[in-house]
Structure 1
């Protein structure tokens, strides 16, 4: 069902046990093929300043060390997720029947499988109530991201969306991988950039007149001018990679991380490979379980959701998928 959170709203078949042979690209970035045949990039590991002074829950800035790891070069695509479902018969959260016991007082007739979909309103009263542009659509799921009349045919190379946290986790396990920690994700996104950069790619939104990420242009949420060429998701690799060879670390779709979300975690985070708090707490919705999401989406903009910017944090209720949330995987270096 639709959570009140605005983070993302803004926001067993037999498989080989080892990677294919490591190969080096011409630009000295090391690449491998994962067990799901996804291109992965070696992230060297090291120390960095984690966080941002622009967002309260990303403070204080603190020194963090992460070990080397491999990361998917791009977000998991519809085609890749299709192979996972074909191999396992997996059914996502958005496709499953809803148990009336989990929704006391609700009309059972309304408890039908579906998910949240962004729908541009003709006008808005203010930007405080995100339910003005989000709607629970019966039949919306990863195969039909915007509802039963939509499809992913022709969008095989777009990032899969409408995946809950457990859906992303199940794919990662099948592929012999895992979801990144928040620290790993930020280290990879910053790719050695200076802490003062506004965006993960640098300080300017445009380069030679071209947008460097798939975010929202125009008047949010009523008029998307689509200056970057896309209204919703873009095919992976549509925008330049960062210095580590990673695509869409900003914009396109939010990406699940393995950490539980707490706004105060950075105040006592370990310095060595932090993995997040032991439980979840969001004062905006104390009764829900949330995990960290990173990178922003095609709906992020400076008017409403600025959490696509460097060092910022997103969050999502674990069972509330939307059509602007996806994921990518990582793998430990043996």
Structure 2
């Protein structure tokens, strides 16, 4: 932070570029080619490089946030450095929360919208960490200590930045936060030997670097900014010395140099590094900077001579420490791998023990995955064994906590919906089964009613877009008791795009637009279907099931989320149901809704269906990858209709009048 009780930070978000929405663009865009020195073959190329540099220094609430005069100089220095590295740079200053949302969204869709792109976003300004939630502070934010609603109305959650990073189509995206910030919000960054440079250059990546850990203080004169510029200009090219600086090399350099300089000035800074959502192989890649004027990879046959140390750069002692650190890392890796192999062998023995109960076996694998969750950057064996452990855990189904409904013999519908293969009643109410190609999707009748939508101002981790208001739904509707499974999707459209494969797993990596095609085919296969997405109001009404808290019950018993999912989706209906017999509305995968994402109405609403237009469609419920606060009943998010993620699926809804 830059002042004692408020944790400010200086975030450099290496991802994307903005043109034509209030920022000033400068040319610097040029192609980048990476060539294998042993074969002279090009192994990776980038046609464009874009950077968005944001600076917040002139804050409106002076009693809450001091102005940051150093931001202006830092922006100019960063802009010049990135242009020197071939980036087209756009500068945006003094952004409110709403402007941050617009700036980032526009940049993601325009400048970071093509695969062969390197994207960099640099934010300088105040930041704040509240509990485990980090925020970029808009210039309109209030004081979080005595005006929490005012703060939340002006603060932009880091979680939203992470989502936007995943929405970017650019192959390489890096975020740097020059501030005290919790590294626990990101997956630990894999840093490995430099000889993996070329292979990593081919693969996508979302990388995050911060100048400090939680509860540390960043000075207004930024050490991180100094070393970031020095690092990409060549000081960080110390592992391979090939004229390139990778994100991993930059992370090692910044951790060393910022900590050294901070200690010399009596400060306490411990830079952190991490990655975003591990999807589409993105954790495998590594961001690439080319050292200006450096020797091209194609011309390197032998390692170049050591560079003469410059003031503030690495000296021989620095390199000695680097070598010692790498040696220690190899020793730690060997110890880790030995313990890993031993623990896996014991878990396998328990798994094969005929006397062990299913729950005992599940607990053994859970403990193994928890104990060895940290990635070893020097070996792939831990990844292989974690994947095997997850497979073993998933295979043990008979101990899963599946609620047992009151048995009731199905009957052929007489007055039920025309699409139903069977109907009945149980302790949750009326149900009807939709059957396609032998795959059954149970639908629940949700009765009309009135409820309070949104969250109260004192709900932990709420966002400003959750303003409470009364909503009346005047019509009954049908809603799937689970997310649409891969089995049902395949029965309707005869393909399966999901990352995590399994007939009973929720379908994911399906865009809002692709779901429209699914609905069209499904409604063409059944009588009087009318199947579609639920509205956002219908979704929250059903999720709450008459409750008023953040969750419809104990979230651990209802939801597969980041704390318990083990890095994957799970079969639907293997957690508990809410009071209306609906499963997985909290967690497993986010769910598309029919509405455009936008502000709630100012007052009470009847049968709302969202704004008439927009750029993002609503996502609800959180997922296997996210923390519990993302899974709250009132939690909202949005994504462009064409986007696909392994954490995003949907469930069916249908009007009651769709029938004879």
TM-score by length of 2: 0.34
| 2:492 partner SS | helix
| 2:478 partner SS | strand
What is the distance in 2 between the residues matched to 1:52 and 1:85? 38
Aligned to 1:186: 540
Contact 1:8/1:316, CA 8 A, preserved across alignment: no
Aligned mate of 1:323, from 646, 650, 657: 646
Higher relative contact order (CA 8 A, sep 6+): 1
Greater share of helix: 2
Aligned to 2:182: none
What is the distance in 2 between the residues matched to 1:308 and 1:75? 15
Task: Tell me, yes or no, if structure 1 residue 265 matches structure 2 residue 600.
Answer: yes
Once the two structures are superposed, what CA deviation does each residue of 1:41-90 show, in whole Å capped at 9, x if it has no partner? 0001200000113220111x11101121000110111111111123xxx8
Aligned to 1:93: none
Ranges in structure 1 where 5+ consecutive residues have no aligned partner: 12-16, 91-141, 146-150, 218-227, 281-288
| 1:314 partner SS | strand
TM-score by length of 1: 0.65
Once the two structures are TM-superposed, the CA of residue 200 in structure 1 deviates from its matched residue by 2.5
What is the distance in 1 between the residues matched to 2:640 and 2:421? 38
Contact 2:455/2:550, CA 8 A, preserved across alignment: no
Distance 1:231 1:48, change over 3 A: same
- Aligned 1:235-314 pairs, distance under 5 A: 235-262=571-598, 264-267=599-602, 271-280=605-614, 289-301=615-627, 306-314=629-637
Task: Tell me, yes or no, if structure 1 residue 62 matches structure 2 residue 469.
Answer: yes
Once the two structures are superposed, what CA deviation does each residue of 1:205-239 show, in whole Å capped at 9, x if it has no partner? 44xxxx4310011xxxxxxxxxx354210000110
| 1:82 partner SS | helix
Once the two structures are superposed, what CA deviation does each residue of 1:16-63 show, in whole Å capped at 9, x if it has no partner? x9222663233151111236442100001200000113220111x111
Aligned to 1:115: none
Once the two structures are superposed, what CA deviation does each residue of 1:253-298 show, in whole Å capped at 9, x if it has no partner? 0000000011x23336x61100000111xxxxxxxx2100110100
Size of the alignment, in residue pairs? Answer: 236
Distance 1:84 1:191, change over 3 A: same
Distance 1:30 1:230, change over 3 A: farther
- Aligned 1:1-334 pairs, distance under 5 A: 6=163, 18-20=418-420, 23-34=423-434, 36=436, 37-53=440-456, 54-59=462-467, 61-66=468-473, 67-86=475-494, 142-143=496-497, 145=499, 152=501, 155-176=502-523, 177-193=531-547, 195=548, 197-201=549-553, 204-206=554-556, 211-217=557-563, 228=564, 230-262=566-598, 264-267=599-602, 271-280=605-614, 289-301=615-627, 306-334=629-657
| 2:540 partner SS | helix
What is the distance in 2 between the residues matched to 1:258 and 1:231? 28
**Superposition RMSD in Å:** 2.5
Once the two structures are TM-superposed, the CA of residue 5 in structure 1 deviates from its matched residue by 6.9
Which structure would you say has the larger Rg? Answer: 2
Distance 1:174 1:316, change over 3 A: same
Contact 1:72/1:328, CA 8 A, preserved across alignment: yes
Ranges in structure 2 where 5+ consecutive residues have no aligned partner: 1-108, 114-160, 167-275, 278-416, 457-461, 524-530
What is the distance in 2 between the residues matched to 1:266 and 1:22? 39
Aligned to 1:109: none
